[in-house]
Amino acid sequence: MNYEVLGRYEVKQQLGKRAGRRTLLACDRETQKLVVIKLLSFGSDFDWEDLKLFQREAETLKALNHPFIPRYLDYFEIDSPQLKGFALVQTYIEAPSIEEHLKAGRTFSEAELKQLAKSLLEILIYLHGRQPPVIHRDLKPSNILLTNRSGNNVGQVYLVDFGSVQTLAAREGGTITVVGTYGYMPQEQFGGRTVPASDLYSLGATLIALVTGTHPADLPQKDFRIDFESANLSVAMSSWLRWMTEPALDRRLDSAQKALQALQQKQPLKNNVLLVEKKPTGSKVKLNKSADYLEILLPPKGFPYKFFFSGSTLLNIFYIFSMISVVAIFHQSLSLMLLGCLLSFIFPFLIVCEGLFKKVRLRIDRKEIYLTHELFGFEYNRPRPAARQKITNLEYIKRRFKKSNKKFEINPQLIIWAGVQKYVLNGKYETVDSLHSLTEPELEWLAHELSVWLGIPITIELPPAER
Q: What is the mean pLDDT of residues 155-176?
A: 70
Q: How many Å from the N-terminal Cα to the C-terminal Cα in the chain?
A: 76
Tell me what pLDDT residue 337 has: 59
Which segment of 3-17, 235-249, 324-338 scores lowest on mean pLDDT?
324-338
Residue 292 dihedral angles phi and psi, to the nearest 5°: -100, -20
Distance of CA 147 to the CA centre of its chain: 28
Integer Cα distance of 170 and 57 in angstroms: 12
> d(Cα 252, Cα 264) in Å, to the nearest integer?
17
CA torsion sign for 158, 138, 62, 13 is positive
Q: Does domain 5-91 have CATH number 3.30.465.10?
A: no
Give percent of the chain above pLDDT 90.
Answer: 28
In this model, does residue 286 exceed pLDDT 80?
A: yes
Q: Distance from CA of residue 164 to its chain's centroid?
A: 25
Catalytic residue among 28, 138, 161, 199: 138
Per-domain residue ranges of the chain: 5-91, 98-264, 272-298+360-461, 305-357
Cis amide leading into 383 (omega within 30): yes
pLDDT higher for 62 or 45? 62
What average pLDDT does the segment 268-287 reach? 65
355 has a pLDDT exceeding 70: no
Collect contacts of 69-75 with beta carbons under 8 A, ≥24 apart: 69/123, 69/158, 69/159, 69/160, 69/162, 70/36, 70/158, 70/160, 70/162, 73/28, 73/35
**Predicted confidence (pLDDT) per residue in 365-388, tens digit:** 988 998 888 777 677 667 789 998
Residues 6+ apart with CB under 8 A from 227: 219, 220, 221
- What phi and psi values does residue 280 have, to the nearest 5 degrees? -60, 140
- pTM metric for this prediction: 0.65
| Mean pLDDT (the chain, rounded) | 78
Distance of CA 306 to the CA centre of its chain: 42
**Domain 98-264 is found in CATH 1.10.510.10:** yes
Does 213 score more than 70 pLDDT?
yes
CA separation for the pair 391, 240 (Å, rounded): 11
What dihedral do alpha carbons 121, 127, 130, 133 form, nearest 10°? -100
pLDDT tens track for 402-411: 555 555 556 7
Q: Residue 393's pLDDT is what?
A: 83
Specify whether the CB–CB gap between 441 and 274 falls below 8 A. Answer: no
138 part of the active site: yes
